[in-house]
Amino acid sequence: MKVESKLNYYILLLVVFGGFLMFGISENIKGPALPEIQADFKVNEATLGIMLALNSLGFLLACSFTSFLINKIGIKITSVLMFGSMALSGYFIYLSSSFLWLSGAYFFLNIGNGMLEISLAILAARVFTKNTGTMLNLSHFFYGFGSTIAPIIAASMMGWHVFNMELGWRGMFLAILIFALIPLIPALSANYPKEESQEEDRISIRQLLRDPIAWLIVASLSFGVISELGMASWLVNYLVKVYDWTLEDASGLLSLFFLLFMLARLLLGPITDKFGYTISVITFSALAGVCSILAIITGEKSVLLFAIAGIGIAPVYPTVMALLAKRYPKGTDTAITFTVTSIGIVGVIGNLLIGYIIDIVSDLSNSNQLGMQAGFGFISASALICSLFTVVIYINLRKNNQLI
């Protein structure tokens, strides 16, 4: 490898790793802020679920056009737009004076997050052509690291005083999201690889729509993402409202969840390459589902099982991305865009369901505690459903001698 190409490779690593780090931070600073947002605007869980669903809608919208944008203007300019929009959204959140304004600002943030998701997935698939499972899990390790520090930093910063005024959740969002501008430095200086396959060899959306495995992958990953993001979004609220934990203590457990999540992505990548992507997803998603369900059933004495569930759910997303890259080498961009856009639709529905399950069960039982347990039960069951769909993928691939 020439010196110039080696240097460019390291710059691309900074873009991928730095992008995932910022992605993890921007997605998970909301956990400690949600109870304060809910109290400030006096909204119930269903309304909060609607806001989170709108966030998923913004994410979905970005997923639908980012691949097209990359093909038209290039991944470099797309990177500038996505990091810039994330930083700008922090300013919009800071200015939010109503729940509607906040929902719009957060919608805008998730457009940046969606662009980041697709761009990083496409870039990583192009750069990491060897040991794909290991390198994608390592990339997502930085997402886990950002996710680990995000709740602690967010909870701490909300209590800071600047110019004799409490920073609060608005100032916290502004201060943290401005760091999205930092990854722009390597993004602007890197030379980006292009997809190797010829245009006439690329798989089309029509072919993907007719491929049952593609839909099974969408179903599996959709429920895996509902479980992963559901835990990140609702765990603090669950601990505060079911066990009367303080915001700081609850944020600490969420950070422990992401610490184990981060370490799992750092260490389990070689295992996914060795034992196969489908077997790995089946095993790890089942572990996440069982741990979180046991935590709900056995009560406060077993809350550490929520954190241990992070070990199971962590490898699911990057391992499925590796599966996509290997199954669709001619048209990975198309396969990733199709998959991530499709799971975005389920993400919208999933966030709505979680909020409404909590409210409906709370009203019927006259117990917010039971409502929160039911909502988290759905989050936990989603990990098990992810495992079951992957079993079907495994059976189909094995039948056709296509195991990856």
Q: Do the Cβ atoms of 313 and 224 come closer than 8 Å?
A: yes
Question: Looking at the domain assignment, is residue 194 inside a domain?
Answer: no
Q: Give the CA angle between residues 105, 350, 246 to the nearest 5°.
A: 70
Question: Looking at the domain assignment, is residue 304 inside a domain?
Answer: yes
Euclidean distance between CA atoms 336 and 325, whole angstroms = 8
Can you give the C-alpha Rg of the chain in angstroms? Answer: 20
Q: How many domains does the chain have?
A: 1
CA dihedral 309, 310, 313, 315 (to 10 degrees): -140
Euclidean distance between CA atoms 3 and 1, whole angstroms = 7
Q: Report helix angle 45-73 to 332-365, nearest 10.
A: 170
Euclidean distance between CA atoms 366 and 359, whole angstroms = 10
pLDDT tens string 84-142:
888 899 999 999 889 989 988 988 998 888 888 888 888 887 788 777 777 877 887 88
Predicted local distance difference test score (pLDDT) of residue 200: 42
Q: What is the DSSP string of 147-173?
A: HHHHHHHHHHHHT-EETTEE-HHHHHH
Question: Looking at the domain assignment, is residue 116 inside a domain?
Answer: yes
Which residue from 348, 335, 236, 326 is spatially nearest to 277, judged by alpha carbons?
Answer: 326
Which residue from 389, 208, 378, 377 is spatially nearest to 281, judged by alpha carbons?
Answer: 389
Question: Looking at the domain assignment, is residue 197 inside a domain?
Answer: no
Euclidean distance between CA atoms 120 and 23, whole angstroms = 10
Euclidean distance between CA atoms 298 and 278, whole angstroms = 30
- Could you list the pLDDT tens digit for every one of the 404 residues in the chain? 555 578 888 888 888 899 989 988 988 888 788 888 888 888 887 788 778 777 777 777 887 788 788 888 888 888 888 888 888 999 999 998 899 899 889 889 988 888 888 888 888 877 887 777 778 778 878 887 887 788 888 888 998 888 788 889 999 999 999 988 888 888 888 888 765 554 445 677 788 888 899 999 999 999 998 998 888 778 988 999 899 998 888 888 988 898 898 888 888 888 888 888 999 999 999 999 999 999 999 999 999 999 999 999 989 988 988 888 788 877 777 888 788 878 877 767 777 788 889 989 998 998 888 999 999 999 999 999 999 999 999 999 988 887 76
Question: Looking at the domain assignment, is residue 195 inside a domain?
Answer: no
Euclidean distance between CA atoms 162 and 229, whole angstroms = 31
Euclidean distance between CA atoms 160 and 25, whole angstroms = 18
Which residue from 324, 121, 64, 119 is spatially nearest to 218, judged by alpha carbons?
Answer: 324
Structure tokens at 255: 């950070």
Question: Looking at the domain assignment, is residue 363 inside a domain?
Answer: yes
Euclidean distance between CA atoms 140 and 255, whole angstroms = 16
Put simply, whether the predicted model's pTM sits higher than 0.85 gets the answer no
CATH number at residue 246: 1.20.1250.20
Structural domain of residue 258, as residue ranges?
Answer: 3-188+203-399
Query: What are 208-217's contacts with CB under 8 Å, separation 24+?
Result: 208/328, 208/334, 208/335, 208/338, 212/396, 213/327, 213/393, 213/396, 213/397, 214/335, 214/338, 214/339, 216/389, 216/392, 216/393, 216/396, 217/320, 217/323, 217/324, 217/339, 217/393
Question: Looking at the domain assignment, is residue 153 inside a domain?
Answer: yes
Q: Do the Cβ atoms of 351 and 53 come closer than 8 Å?
A: yes
Question: Looking at the domain assignment, is residue 404 inside a domain?
Answer: no
Q: What is the DSSP string of 218-237?
A: HHHHHHHHHHHHHHHHHHHH
Which residue from 315, 320, 386 is spatially nearest to 350, judged by alpha carbons?
Answer: 386
Predicted local distance difference test score (pLDDT) of residue 170: 92
Burial 157-167 (b: 16+ CB within 10 A, else e): bbeeeeeeeeb
